[in-house]
Structure 1
Amino acid sequence: MTILLLNGPNLNLLGTRQTSVYGATTLSEIETLTRSHAEAAGYKLDALQSNHEGVLIDAIHSAKGKSQGIILNAGAYTHTSIALMDAISSVELPVIEVHLSNIHAREPFRHQSYIARVAVGQIAGFGPDSYILAVDALVAHLSEAAS
């Protein structure tokens, strides 16, 4: 059983980018922590980061039939990408939207999420722990759906 972890634009710069907002933890460290947590719950974790919307869409499409669910930090695409929203709707996999910062406490344009419209839920504002919480939420959702 597999979970797909997708990270969008600029998240490759974590650890050095606006550390007052996003913290000092690198994306590699987040992936390692998230992978360990998913494995402890009985899931394999595949991780991908891309600054390109089409690559993220292709990864979502490829997840159908291969992954049981997706954890997605779409970065700025959260607020702009109807295409990502449509891709999620198309594959009919549960998605947990995740953000390091609390997007609802930031600039007004960040309060809009196209991903939230098609996600099981949204976890924001807990730094790297947001990803751990997302694994727990997705595993609980999958377990509930199976029963």
Structure 2
Amino acid sequence: MSELGSASSTGSVGSAASVGSLTVLVLNGPNLGRLGSREPDVYGSQDLVALTKQLGEAAPDGVSIEVRQTDDEGELIGWLHGAVDARTPVILNPAAFTHYSYGLRDAAAMVTKAGLPLIEVHISNPHARESFRHNSVISAVATGVIAGFGFDSYRLALDQIIRTIG
């Protein structure tokens, strides 16, 4: 598990505790811990630390961002359960789990059924890639899907969550 910490609206990277009135959980699935070195032509050259900083800078006052990454499906499911319990909105990049993880799909459905936003994001556009990437088992239970805009996919999701909750 990689807990990258949180960023407040000032963009500082700190502890995982909420520093504002709203925390947005940003969950990343398998292989995304290799951002910056894995297929930079597809995923770009920035890593998750840079993502944490960028989201912190984009967050308005009173909003903190908690970024996590894991290659473990069960851990990701557990984080979604925790989001339901803590009433925390979620930005989810399920990565490869997008295409086949029904357990993750069911956990994501728990978030939206609890009345919380869960936005599925992808750095690349899965529909412009190999055909096996064209199907998402998560999309049908997500509040929305944003894909193909690099790290801006996350920022757009954050903006929408703030509009929805604020």
Which secondary structure does the structure 1 equivalent of 2:146 belong to? Answer: strand
**2:99 aligned partner:** 79
State the TM-score, normalized to the length of structure 1.
0.91
**Structure 2 partner of 1:105:** 128
Instruction: Output the CA distance in 1 between the equivalents of 2:102 and 2:82.
Output: 18
For the pair 1:135 / 2:129, whether they are aligned, the reply is no
Tell me the equivalent position of 2:119.
Answer: 96
Distance 1:120 1:109, change over 3 A: same
How does the TM-score come out when normalised to structure 2?
0.81
Large movers: runs of 4+ above 4 Å: none
Equivalent in the alignment of 1:21: 42
3-state SS, counterpart of residue 117 of structure 1: helix
- CA deviations 1:71-114 (Å, max 9, x no partner) are 00010001111111101112323100111001111111111111
Count of residues in Structure 1 that have an aligned counterpart in Structure 2: 142
Look up the SS of the partner of 2:106 in the other structure. Answer: helix
Of residues 4, 29, 54, the one that matches 1:33 is: 54
Residues 14, 26 of structure 1: 8 Å contact kept: yes
Q: Deviation of residue 62 (structure 1)?
A: 0.7
Q: How far 1:2 moved relative to its partner? A: 1.3
Query: Which runs of 5 or more residues in structure 2 are unaligned?
Result: 1-21
Aligned residues: CA RMSD:
1.3
Provide the rounded CA distance (Å) in 2 between the counterparts of 1:123 and 1:44.
21
